[in-house]
Structure 1
Amino acid sequence: MSMFRAKRLDLGGFINGRVIRDHTKRKVFEQHEPERQALRYIIRNTSLPQRARAQAQLQLTQMHAYTRPTQIKNRCVAGGIARSVIRDFRIARYQFRQQALAGELPGVKKASW
């Protein structure tokens, strides 16, 4: 069952419920971002009537929570962990250490001084 979901959601690496939920949040955010930007522009534009700005603010607050950028969490693509994820490689520190020592990460070598 999880392999079917992986193909359908185009996910690679470790898959659990949290990874699927985060993937869904990213897709929903991507779809609704232009609309959110337009509403934020209307709210900040002081030359527009106050009623239109208030209506845009109401629309923005009533949008689903998954459309907010703060809902997206950086997760490790190898282990699905959300803590201590290195952004450049999108993996957690333990996975980073293992892959670096195995020579699987290009341009990364153990420090020695």
Structure 2
Amino acid sequence: MSMFRAKKLDLGCFIKPRTIRDHTKRLVFEKFEPERQALRYIIRNTTLPPRVRAEAQLQLTQMHSYTRGTQIRNRCIMGGQGRGVLRDFKMTRFQFRMEAMAGNIPGIKRASW
């Protein structure tokens, strides 16, 4: 038997290491966002003493990179791919085309005029 138990992730897409990493980044970002906002507010508040603002800036820079919103990447819900993702449908261009042609996306049909 394995020492480690695989944690079941129901992300709705094909699970690859990058997909798991992105999911982890989303969870960490959600957890630490209020703290980051508070630190940013302290840094921008000019009425506070410079020492307090400098300490807040130091704390913010020492936080893990996964706590930043820029680390999160939109991924396809079908295949987990990170490029060419349409935001409205959360699918890559190719997957969107295949699903639309199969008639699986309501309200979408081929253009003809």
User: Taking structure 2 as the reference length, what is the TM-score of the superposition?
Assistant: 0.92
> Percent same amino acid at aligned positions?
69
Residue 80 in structure 1 maps to residue 107 in structure 2: no
Q: Deviations over 1:31-60 (max 9, x none)?
A: 000000000000000011100000000000
| Distance across 2 between alignment mates of 1:39 and 1:27 | 19
Q: Deviations over 1:89-110 (max 9, x none)?
A: 1000000000000111111111
Structure with the bigger percentage of helix: 1
Task: Give 2:3's aligned residue.
Answer: none
**1:49-88 mapped onto 2 (5 Å cutoff):** 49-88=49-88
CA deviation after TM superposition for structure 1 residue 16, in Å: 0.3
Letter in 2 for 1:74: N
CA deviation after TM superposition for structure 1 residue 9, in Å: 2.7
User: What SS does the aligned partner of 2:89 have?
Assistant: coil
Letter in 2 for 1:36: R
Give the gaps of 5 or more residues in structure 2.
1-5
Task: Give 2:11's aligned residue.
Answer: 11
Task: Give 1:45's aligned residue.
Answer: 45
Letter in 2 for 1:54: A
**1:87-98 mapped onto 2 (5 Å cutoff):** 87-98=87-98
CA RMSD of aligned residues (A): 0.9
User: Taking structure 1 as the reference length, what is the TM-score of the superposition?
Assistant: 0.92
**1:27-38 mapped onto 2 (5 Å cutoff):** 27-38=27-38
User: What SS does the aligned partner of 2:98 have?
Assistant: helix
User: What SS does the aligned partner of 1:66 have?
Assistant: helix
Letter in 1 for 2:26: R
Give the gaps of 5 or more residues in structure 1.
none
Letter in 1 for 2:57: Q
